[in-house]
Chain A
Amino acid sequence: MDIKTAEKFMEKLVKAGTEYGFEECEASFASESSMSIDILKGEVASYENSATSTLSFRGLKNGQMGYCSTNILDENSIDFLLKSAMENCEVLNDEDPQFIYCDEDNKDLYYSQITDAYAKNTYKAFEELGLKLEKAILALDKRIDAVDYLSIACSTGPYLIINSKGLHSYRDTDGISLVGTARAIDEDGSVKSGGHYWIGKDIDDFDQEKFLQKFKENLIGKMGAKSVKPGTYKTVLKAEAFHQFFTVFFGNFFATPMQRGLSLLADKEGTKIASDVFTVREVPMYDKALTKIPFDDEGVLTTEKAIIDHGTFATALYDLKSANKAGKKSTGNGFRSGSAVSEMPTNLIVEAGDKSFDELLEEVGEGIILTDLSGLHAGVNAISGDFSLLCEGYLIENGKKGRPVEQITVAGNFYDVIKSIKSVGNDIINLPSGEGEFFTPSVYVGELAISGDDEEN
Chain B
Amino acid sequence: MFNDSDCLRILEEAMSTTADFAEVFQEVTESKSVSLLNGQVIRAATGFDSGTGIRLLSGTNSVYVYSSDNDLEVLLKLAKEAAAAIKGNDKGQIEALKDLCKTSMTRIEIDPMSVPKKDMVDFLRKSSDYALNYDPLITQVAGSIASSVRTAKIINTRGVNTEDTTNRIRLSVETIATKDNEKQSGRVAPGTMKGYEFINEYPIIDKTKECCDTAIRMVNAGYAPSAKMPVILSNGFGGVIFHEACGHALEATAVGIKMSYFTDMLGQQIASPIVSARDNARIEGEWGSYGTDDEGNTSSDLLLIENGILKNYLIDELGARRMNAKPTGCSRRQNYSYAPTSRMSNTYICNGESDVKDIIANTEYGLYATQMGGGSVDTSTGDFNFAVNEAYMVRDGKIAEPVRGATLIGKGQEILKNIDMVGNDLQLAAGMCGSVSGGVPVTVGQPTIRVSSILVGGREA
Q: Measuring CB to CB, which residues of chain A are less than 8 angstroms from any residue of chain B?
A: 1, 40-41, 43-54, 66-72, 77, 80, 84-85, 87-95, 123, 146, 148, 183, 191-193, 230-231, 260-262, 264, 338-340, 374-375, 377-381, 383-384, 386, 388-390, 406-412, 449, 451-455
Q: List 19 A-B contacts (CB under 8 A).
A: A48-B66, A49-B66, A69-B47, A72-B48, A84-B46, A85-B46, A87-B44, A89-B44, A93-B41, A148-B257, A230-B461, A264-B181, A378-B387, A390-B407, A411-B458, A449-B461, A451-B227, A453-B228, A454-B228
Q: Is the CB of A230 within 8 A of B178?
A: no
Residue B118 CB within 8 A of the other chain: yes
A402–B296 alpha-carbon span in the complex (Å)? 53
B417 contacts partner chain A, Cβ-Cβ < 8 Å: no
Is B64's beta carbon under 8 Å from chain A? yes
By a CB distance below 8 angstroms, the chain A residues around B117 are 87-88, 90-91
Which chain B residues border A54 with CB–CB below 8 Å?
49, 68
Whether the Cβ atoms of B44 and A91 lie closer than 8 Å is yes
B140 and A193 contacting across the interface, CB-CB below 8 Å: no
Expressed in whole angstroms, the Cα–Cα distance for A409 and B45 within the complex equals 40
Given contacts A49-B82, A87-B117, A407-B383, contact A230 B227 (CB under 8 A): yes
Residues of A within 8 A of B66 (CB): 48-50, 52
Question: What is the distance, in angstroms, from A200's C-beta to the closest C-beta of chain B?
Answer: 23
- Which chain A residues lie closer than 8 Å to B223 at the CB level? 411
B226 and A449 form a contact (CB under 8 A)? yes
Excluding A45-B60, A384-B182, A409-B409, 18 further A-B contacts by CB distance (< 8 Å) are: A48-B63, A49-B85, A50-B65, A51-B74, A52-B67, A52-B68, A71-B48, A71-B69, A95-B40, A261-B176, A340-B45, A374-B378, A374-B383, A386-B405, A388-B405, A407-B411, A411-B458, A412-B459
Interface residues of B in 85-101 (CB under 8 A from A): 85-87
Across the interface, do B68 and A92 meet the contact criterion of CB distance under 8 Å?
no
* Residue B34, interface by CB 8 Å: yes
Q: Is the CB of B183 within 8 A of A80?
A: no
Tell yes or no: B268 within 8 A of A by CB.
no
Q: How far is the CA of A92 from the CA of B36 in the complex (A)?
A: 9
Whole-angstrom distance between the alpha carbons of A261 and B140 in the complex?
8
CB-contact partner of A69 in B40, B48, B226, B375, under 8 A: B48
Select one of A45, A91, A375 contacting B385, CB under 8 A: A375
Q: Using Cβ atoms and an 8 Å threshold, which residues of chain B touch A95?
A: 40
Query: Is B81 an interface residue when CB atoms closer than 8 A count as contact?
Result: yes
B339 touches which of A46, A68, A449 (Cβ 8 Å): A46
Check A374 against B49 for contact (C-beta < 8 Å). no
Q: What are the residues of chain A within 8 A of B376 when measuring CB–CB?
A: 374-375, 377-378
B37 near A260 with CB under 8 A, answer yes
In the assembled complex, B51 has its CB within 8 A of some CB on chain A: yes
Report chain B residues within 8 Å CB of A77: 48
Query: A191 and B381: CB pair below 8 A?
Result: yes
- A26–B340 alpha-carbon span in the complex (Å): 35
- A379 x B51 contact (CB < 8 A): no
Neighbour of A384 across the interface among B140, B183, B409, CB < 8 A:
B183
Report the separation of the CA atoms of residues A375 and B74 in the bound assembly, to the nearest whole angstrom. Answer: 40
Contacts A46-B61, A123-B85, A383-B183 given: A390-B385 contact, CB under 8 Å? yes
CB-contact partner of B47 in A70, A90, A91, A408, under 8 A: A70
Q: Which residue of B lies closest to A455 (CB)?
A: B228
Do A68 and B47 touch across chains, with their CB atoms under 8 A apart?
Answer: yes
B137 to chain A, nearest CB (A): 13
Bound Cα distance A93, B380 (Å): 50
Q: Distance in Å from the Cβ of B230 to the closest Cβ of chain A? A: 15
- Please provide the chain B residues from 398 to 424 with a CB less than 8 Å away from any CB of chain A in the complex: 404-407, 409-411
* A66-B69 Cα distance, complex, nearest whole Å: 25
Q: Does B139 contact A (CB under 8 A)?
A: yes
Known contacts: A70-B49, A384-B184. The answer to whether A45 contacts B61 by CB under 8 A is yes
- Is A71 in contact with B68, judged by CB distance below 8 angstroms? yes
Q: In the assembled complex, how far is the CB of residue A418 from the closest CB belonging to chain B, in whole angstroms?
A: 14
Q: Are A52 and B51 in contact (CB under 8 A)?
A: yes
C-alpha gap A230/B228 in the complex (Å): 10
Mark interface residues in B310-324 (1 if CB within 8 Å of A CB, else 0).
000000000000000
B16-58 interface code vs A (CB 8 A; 1 in, 0 out): 0000000000000000001001101111111111110000000
Least Cβ–Cβ distance between B44 and chain A, in angstroms:
4
Q: Which residues of chain A come closer than 8 Å to B64, judged between CB atoms?
A: 46-49
Q: Which 10 pairs across A and B sit closest by C-beta, in order of nearness?
A: A409-B457, A451-B226, A378-B374, A390-B385, A88-B44, A84-B46, A378-B387, A378-B373, A375-B385, A388-B407
Cβ 8 A contact of B381, one of A68, A84, A193: A193
CA distance A451 to B386 in the complex (A): 15
Contacts A51-B68, A93-B41: A379 and B383 contacting too (C-beta < 8 A)?
A: no
Question: What are the residues of chain A within 8 A of B380 when measuring CB–CB?
Answer: 148, 183, 191, 193
Nearest CB on A from B275, distance (A): 22
In the complex, the answer to whether B387 meets A379 with C-beta atoms within 8 Å is: yes
Q: Measured between alpha carbons, how far is A192 from B378 in the docked complex, in Å? A: 10
Question: What distance in Å separates the Cβ of B435 from its nearest Cβ neighbour in chain A?
Answer: 12
Instruction: Given the known inter-chain contacts A88-B46, A148-B257, please indicate yes or no for A451 contacting B457, CB distance below 8 A.
Output: yes
Q: How far is the CA of A72 from the CA of B52 in the complex (A)?
A: 13
- Asked if B207 is an interface residue, CB under 8 A from chain A, the answer is no
CB distance from B83 to the nearest CB of A (A): 11
Known: A43-B61, A148-B380. A340 touches B385 (CB 8 A): no
If A91-B118, A339-B45, A388-B387 touch, whether A40 touches B407 (CB-CB below 8 Å) is: no
How distant is the Cα of A45 from the Cα of B61 in the complex, in angstroms? Answer: 5
CA distance A193 to B260 in the complex (A): 12
Interface pair A453/B45, CB less than 8 Å apart: no
A390 touching B383 by the CB < 8 A rule? yes
> B461 to A375, Cβ gap below 8 A?
no
- By a CB distance below 8 angstroms, the chain B residues around A148 are 257, 259, 380
The answer to whether B457 and A340 touch across the interface, beta carbons within 8 angstroms, is: no
> Within the complex, what minimum Cβ distance (angstroms) separates B375 from chain A?
6
B62 at interface (Cβ–Cβ under 8 A)?
yes
Closest to A230 in B: B226
A381–B184 touching, CB < 8 Å: yes
Q: In whole angstroms, what is the CA distance A95 to B258 when docked?
A: 55
Binary contact readout B140-152 vs A (1 if CB under 8 angstroms, 0 otherwise): 1000000000000
Cα A375 to Cα B373 in complex, Å, equals 10
Q: What is the bound-complex CA distance between A91 and B139, given in angstroms?
A: 24
B45/A388 in contact, CB under 8 A: no
Q: How far is the CB of B80 from chain A (nearest CB, A)?
A: 11
- Closest B-chain residue to A373, C-beta based? B385
Q: Is B140 within 8 A of A45, CB to CB?
A: no
Cα distance, A412 to B455, chains bound together (Å): 17
C-alpha gap A378/B457 in the complex (Å): 13
Chain A positions within 8 Å of B46 at CB level? 67-69, 84-85, 87-88
Asked if A53 and B381 make an inter-chain contact with CB atoms under 8 angstroms apart, the answer reads no
A46 to B66 Cα, complex, angstroms:
14
Distance from B325 Cβ to chain A, minimum over Cβ atoms (Å) = 18
A90-B46 Cα distance, complex, nearest whole Å: 13
Residues of B within 8 A of A449 (CB): 226, 459, 461
Contacts A191-B380, A378-B387 given; does A94 touch B40 at CB 8 Å: yes
In the complex, what residue of chain A is closest to B119 when comparing beta carbons? A91
> Would you call B387 and A375 a contact (CB within 8 A)?
yes
How far apart sit A201 and B92, CA to CA, in the bound complex (Å)?
A: 39
**What's the Cα separation between A260 and B178 when bound, in Å?**
13
A161 to B14 CA separation, bound complex (whole angstroms): 36
B337 contacts chain A at the CB level, 8 A cutoff? yes
Q: Please, how many angstroms separate the alpha-carbon atoms of A449 and B224 in the complex?
A: 12
Q: Given B44, B118, B459, which contacts A66 in the complex, CB threshold below 8 Å?
A: B44
Given contacts A92-B44, A451-B458, contact A261 B178 (CB under 8 A): yes
Which chain B residues border A383 with CB–CB below 8 Å? Answer: 176, 183, 185
- Chain B residue nearest in CB terms to A93: B41
Residue of B nearest to A92 (CB): B41
Note all chain B residues with C-beta closer than 8 A to A69. Answer: 45-49
Determine if B121 is an interface residue (Cβ-Cβ < 8 Å): yes
What A residues does B382 contact at CB under 8 A?
Answer: 191
Contacts of A380 in B (CB 8 A): 387
Please determine whether B226 and A264 come into contact, CB atoms closer than 8 angstroms.
Answer: no
* Residue of B44, B60, B184 with highest tally of chain A CB at under 10 A: B44
